[in-house]
Amino acid sequence: MTGASSGIGAEYAAQLARRGWSLVLVARRAERLAGLSAALGKTTAVETVVADLAHPPDLARVAERVAGDGVDLLVNNAGINGYGPFAEVDPGLLTKVLDVNVVAPTVLTRAAVPQMVARGHGSVVNVASLLAFAGSLPPGPLPHRAVYGGSKGYLVTFTRTLAAELAHTPVRVQVVCPGLTATEFHLSGGEAPVPGEARVHNEGGMPPAEVVAASLASLESGQVVCLPGLSDAEAERRLASAELGLRDRSRPAVAATRRPRPTHPGDQR
């Protein structure tokens, strides 16, 4: 599990430990991981890996661990926001957002899935955001989020498409899209982790325990897209239907696109 040192990640660790899972916890902050390991290690086996997933050697080291034996559930939770007006945010921070939010979950999922398919069981959970669906909405009250929203949109599309690809296998894939959650996520843009003890940003939001409980329940039921707190059960179906409508209506007429086949090589253009 990545991003395990606070917030949603720490809550996944706690709830999975209560269900009897052994844990491999990955995060940047060694002291936070040590505290979490000490607390959860009283009831289950805990392995910790200190790593910055924006750092290629660290990502490679974590991918090697994920590809090994015994990883039955991969939770790609690590994420940073890089919020700010696109023309003003440091380009290096935006690159880091893509490394952590897009490259890392893709690499780790690729490391995990072949072993899961071979063993005949396994699951991957990718933590995205409701902001994946907020592309056309302007900032205020939403944050400036062009790259962050794009990265989470990638996770939604990646997960849904991969789930369809793996539908004939016993491997389950889920993307969970929480809205505002009561964690420390908004206290840093991602340049560096939040120092000190775990805190909660002033904006509040849904308790992380509810987000994780919804995710795990949806995973057990085979739901690919989990939207914690969503009261309209048909919303996802309507989204899929709208997408199908867009694809069906965007196909040009066959007659208009078909070109005559050349009768011999000299006729080719």
CA–CA separation, 141 and 198 (whole Å): 25
The angle that helices 208-221 and 7-18 make with each other, rounded to 10 degrees, is 60
Question: What is the identity of the amino acid at 47?
Answer: E
Question: Do 104 and 59 form a contact (C-beta atoms < 8 A)?
Answer: yes
Question: Do 184 and 3 form a contact (C-beta atoms < 8 A)?
Answer: no
Residue linked to tokens 């290629």: 56
Q: Would you name the residues annotated as active-site residues?
A: 148
- Classified as helix, coil or strand, 43 is coil
Indicate the helix (H) or strand (E) that contains 60.
helix 56-66
Measuring CA to CA, which residue among 46, 50, 57 is closest to residue 3?
Answer: 50
Q: Degrees (nearest 5) of the Cα angle 101, 105, 108?
A: 150
Which DSSP letter does residue 111 get? H
End-to-end Cα, the chain, rounded Å:
54
| 185, two tokens | 């996520």
